[in-house]
Structures are given as structure tokens and as C-alpha cells.
Amino acid sequence: MLLIWSFLPSKAKVWIGTQHPGDLVGTVSMQHRLFHIAAFGLTTLGFLLLERSRKGEVILSMLMCVLGCAIESMQSLLSHFHFFEWWDIRDDFYAVVAAFALIQIANWCLATEPVLASLPDSKKLLLRFPI
């Protein structure tokens, strides 16, 4: 879905509200930025929820950043403006980092028992019964 939205014609982008008619090339609205952040953040989050290893999560996040660069590069090559929208890549990167951080925080919160299980018995008692 992300790829389809990325290559919609201008009229369709105006209709869904991510582009305004008569916008100058190189200007970007807050709505456009939020759309990028939401689209890339939710897509990354969906893929990260399916991944089981930290290494896989890192690789997947890097691939999502590469996908954002590739989409923007193709858009600049295929459009008649030939304008590279670097700020869209920045917003995509912010979204990927936020999704990755959210997953890492969730993994950390849900992994309290395995962390305790790996500690020596003396430290387990200190963590469970603070002085």
C-alpha cells in the first residue's frame, strides 16, 4: 500500500489531502509531513511486530530507510519537476526510528522475567526486595 500511495498521480494526492493544488515545488505542508510519518511509522511497526530477533529488527529498520530513499529517488526521476524531496526522506527516517524505539521499549518491558532469570541468585533477591 505504501508503494501505491507513493506513486499516485498529483490529482489523487490532492484528493486525499497530502498535496495541495498550486503548491510550489519544494514546499511541504504539515499534513504532508504527518502523512509520511504515519505511513512509514505504521508500515515499519507492522513489519517489526512480525520479526523475532533484534538483528532482524535492525536490518528491517535499515531496509525501510533504504525504501524511503529509493521511493524519493524514483519520484524525482519520474516526475517532470526532477526535484529531490530530501525532507520526505528525513520524515520517513524519523518514523522508522520512532517505530524501532517503540518496539525496543515494548521488548524491554515484556522481557523482565528473562532478564531476572539470567542474573545470579544474590542479585535476584536485591532486585525483588530492595533495601
* Sole residue written with cell 503548491: 23
- For residue 85, what pLDDT band results from cuts at 50, 70 and 90? confident
* Domain ranges within the chain, ordered by starting residue: 33-128
CA dihedral 10, 90, 84, 2 (to 10 degrees): -40
Model confidence at 115: pLDDT above 60: no
Residue with cell string 505504521 = 42
pLDDT, tens digit, 9 for 90 and up, residues 19-70: 655 555 556 778 878 988 999 999 999 999 998 889 999 999 999 999 999 9
pLDDT(12) > 70? no
Element containing residue 100 per DSSP (H, E) = helix 86-110
Say how far apart CA 38 and CA 49 lie, in whole Å.
16
